[in-house]
């Protein structure tokens, strides 16, 4: 498995990472799936304290035993759970971050986190306070690096300008090219993209187009169902590659993308993703063809 460096850090991660949110809540099956990912060369595991109220982190923690130095672990913070209250609420405060990290460390059964990510964020947050919390955790050796998980250009710009983030996790695929508008800024500042949703909920895979009622009625983002069908056909016919391979290689074409964080509920999906990511790179004219055939939609909000 080829590796790339995350931003200006010294974290070298596999080009395919495992989005652990998808492994489910049955422990034996979840651990088997994470083990399968690692056996196939994945060294990057992404989780969050939000996923199944910490259970997901606990699963990752069990996998870390005896091989902590071989795994790059990313988790997230910013959502606070209150029993008997309204459930999850947004809390990017320094107090919450420094308290929440203790729970994550305990569940992960480790004394440090490789990449700690803010799980969201708005321009109204006290961004300097949030940055201060992460910087203190870095100095204390509790986290090695930090990043954000956000699709809001205005939030991303502020963190790039005011902090030492090394990554931004964003939904990115051929059907969702909105992140490309901030790629130049990120690349110029040594900040990597961690791409989630590269297969657009299965719409960009080689499986038959078995879509939900919602997709049939509403389409996917700016695409109608008919446009998705036409694009799939055009890409596979003109590029003569499997669709999954086209989708993942499109994301990996940009050097600003450090890793594709792909979910999987079966070991076969992990193998397929790795195989697709390990295929030959897109030629520049192949990438250009995809650019011309798909929509270059930009973010309209949070500018």
Of 51, 116, 159, 223, catalytic: 51
Q: What is the pLDDT of residues 126-149, one digit of tens each?
A: 999 999 999 999 999 999 999 999
* pLDDT attached to residue 167: 98
Q: What is the pLDDT of residues 101-114, one digit of tens each?
A: 999 999 999 999 99
Report residue 158 as tokens.
Answer: 């502020």
**CB within 8 A of 73, min separation 6: which ones?**
45, 47, 60, 64, 108, 110, 113, 114, 115
Domains of the chain, by residue range, sit at 3-293
* pLDDT attached to residue 86: 65
- How far is residue 107's CA from residue 232's CA, in Å, rounded to a whole number? 42
Q: What is the pLDDT of residues 12-32, one digit of tens each?
A: 999 999 998 998 999 999 999
Question: Which CATH superfamily hosts domain 3-293?
Answer: NADP-dependent oxidoreductase domain (3.20.20.100)
Provide the mean pLDDT of the chain: 93
Closest by CA to 115, choosing from 79, 168, 158, 161, is 168
- How far is residue 265's CA from residue 93's CA, in Å, rounded to a whole number? 34
Which own/partner pairs from 234-240 qualify as long-range (CB within 8 Å, at least 24 positions apart)? 234/293, 235/174, 235/290, 235/293, 238/289, 238/293, 239/286, 239/289, 239/290
pTM of the model: 0.94
Q: Is 172 a catalytic residue?
A: no
* pLDDT attached to residue 85: 59
């Amino acid at each position: 498995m080829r590796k790339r460096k995350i931003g200006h850090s010294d974290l070298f991660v596999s080009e395919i990472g495992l989005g652990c949110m998808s492994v489910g809540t049955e422990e034996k099956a979840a651990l088997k799936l994470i083990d399968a990912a690692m056996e196939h060369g994945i060294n990057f595991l992404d989780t969050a304290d939000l996923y199944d109220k910490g259970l997901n982190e606990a699963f990752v923690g069990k996998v870390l035993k005896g091989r902590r130095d071989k795994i790059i672990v990313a988790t997230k913070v910013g959502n606070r759970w209150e029993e008997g209250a309204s459930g999850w609420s947004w809390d990017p405060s320094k107090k919450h971050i420094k308290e929440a990290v203790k729970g994550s460390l305990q569940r992960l059964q480790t004394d440090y986190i490789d990449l700690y990510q803010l799980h969201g964020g708005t321009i109204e947050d006290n961004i300097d306070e949030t940055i201060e919390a992460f910087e203190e955790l870095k100095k204390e050796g509790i986290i090695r690096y930090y990043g954000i998980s956000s699709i809001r250009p205005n939030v991303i710009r502020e963190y790039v300008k005011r902090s030492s983030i090394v990554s931004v996790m964003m939904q990115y695929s051929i059907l969702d090219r909105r992140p490309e508008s901030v790629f130049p800024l990120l690349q110029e500042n040594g900040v990597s993209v961690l791409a989630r949703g590269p297969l657009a909920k299965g719409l960009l895979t080689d499986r038959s187009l078995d879509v939900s009622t919602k997709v049939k009625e509403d389409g996917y983002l700016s695409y109608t169902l008919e446009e998705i069908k036409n694009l799939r056909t055009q890409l596979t016919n003109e590029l003569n590659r499997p669709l999954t391979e086209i989708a993942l290689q499109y994301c990996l074409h940009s050097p600003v993308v450090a890793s594709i964080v792909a979910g999987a509920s079966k070991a076969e999906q992990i193998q397929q993703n790795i195989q697709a990511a390990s295929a030959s790179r897109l030629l520049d004219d192949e990438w250009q063809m995809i650019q011309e055939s798909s929509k270059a939609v930009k973010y309209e909000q949070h500018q």
